[in-house]
Each structure stands twice: as C-alpha cells, then as structure tokens.
Chains A and B, each alone.
Chain A
Amino acid sequence: AQSVSQHNHHVILSEAASLELGCNYSYGGTVNLFWYVQYPGQHLQLLLKYFSGDPLVKGIKGFEAEFIKSKFSFNLRKPSVQWSDTAEYFCAGGLGNTGKLIFGQGTTLQVKP
C-alpha cells in the first residue's frame, strides 16, 4: 500500500537547536516528495520538494531535506530553529503525474524562545 509516515508527532526544541524530522515513504513508481508547513491559522505552504537529481534539496527559510532511496526516507533538517518555526510540518508523497498527494501524519514543532 502507498503510504507516507512521520515518526515524530510532537517535537519541542529550544531556539538555536538543530532539527531533524523523519519521513518514510512506501510506494513504488515515480517518487515525488514534499515537505509542507502549516503555521498556526494559516494554509499549507511548500517548504521544499524533490523530483529527481541532487538528493539534497534546499528549501525556504533555511530548511533542507535529503532523499535517501535505500532507506525510503526524506528527512527534513534545519541547523538552528527559531521561535517562528513553530508550526505543523507535513511530509507528502506525490503519486506519479496524477498530482495526488499522500500526507504523513504531521509533526507539531514547538520552539521555545
């Protein structure tokens, strides 16, 4: 079955701490992977995406993610988080060229000032 799973459901960090959120996917075919962020009261925004090429993808606001095919993973990282990074983070997999997205369960990140 096609699925995307996120291991961390709720993460609490202090400012300046490093962040890594896990994401694993389970499906064959074309692999398109995304990380979206949902700030409180706002709509989902694209952080970064991977379609092909360099497996290390850099996104907005200092975020990056690495696609590791052998591990079926696409973990999100940021070397130093800020209070403004407090949000819900979703990993998603795109199904080929359909445009459909399968979302992970989401991770709530709380950054303490």
Chain B
Amino acid sequence: GAVVSQHPSRVICKSGTSVKIECRSLDFQATTMFWYRQFPKQSLMLMATSNEGSKATYEQGVEKDKFLINHASLTLSTLTVTSAHPEDSSFYICSAGRGDSTDTQYFGPGTRLTVL
C-alpha cells in the first residue's frame, strides 16, 4: 500500500511564531502533494497543490505568504504556517498521489495545530 506520514502529529505554539509541518510519502514518489485544512466537525478544504521543483498553487482565499509550501523532493513537502494566530488553529492534512491515471490520493494522519 501507499503510506503517507506527517510530522508532528500535534503542535502547540504561541501566537506570532511559525510552525513547520512535514508530509512524507514513505514508499512511493509523489510529484504532487496536496494540503488540506479540516475544521472541527467539518469537511476538508483544499488549501494548495504542492509541486515538486516548482511553486505551489494556492486555492482562492488562501494566503500564500501565510502558508508557505515547499516541495523539496519527490517524497517530502512542507507547510509552514507563518506568524500563526489562534484562528490558524486547525487540523492540517496532506495527501499524495502516485501520479498514475487513477488519481487516487493517499492521506496522511494529519497535524493538529493549536495556537495560543
């Protein structure tokens, strides 16, 4: 199977600090990864598409300077929440695909961010 990991699983930070979340595809290469945000009792909202070797593509309404995405290799994408505020507290989930024609995405376990 395809395994995607995220680190850390939980993070608590003070307002104004930056937090980095890693997403790794453990047993396959992913040229494209996706970052989602999930509010309590709500659905997943796509934030951005992370492309290996190029700039991320952000969905409408998502601040590029707030949520920095770097896709440094075929197995790693990072999301940095800069100058975090309490309203950024959420569950962040990444997904990765093998890049085959079926477009099946494999999801990471998510990262719970709490900004105090």
| Residue positions of A touching B, CB distance < 8 A | 32, 34, 36, 42-46, 49, 51, 90, 94, 97-106, 108
Contact = CB atoms under 8 A, between A and B. Distances in A.
Main secondary structure of the interface of B (DSSP, over half): strand
Interface of B: 4, 32, 34, 36, 41-46, 49, 93, 95, 97, 101-110
B93 A99 contact: no
B104 A44 contact: no
A33 B95 CA distance: 16
Given A43-B93, A97-B101, A101-B46, 18 more contacts: A32-B103, A34-B104, A42-B109, A43-B4, A43-B108, A44-B107, A46-B106, A51-B103, A90-B43, A99-B32, A99-B34, A99-B97, A99-B103, A100-B46, A102-B46, A103-B44, A106-B42, A106-B43
- Chain A interface mostly helix, strand, loop or mixed? strand
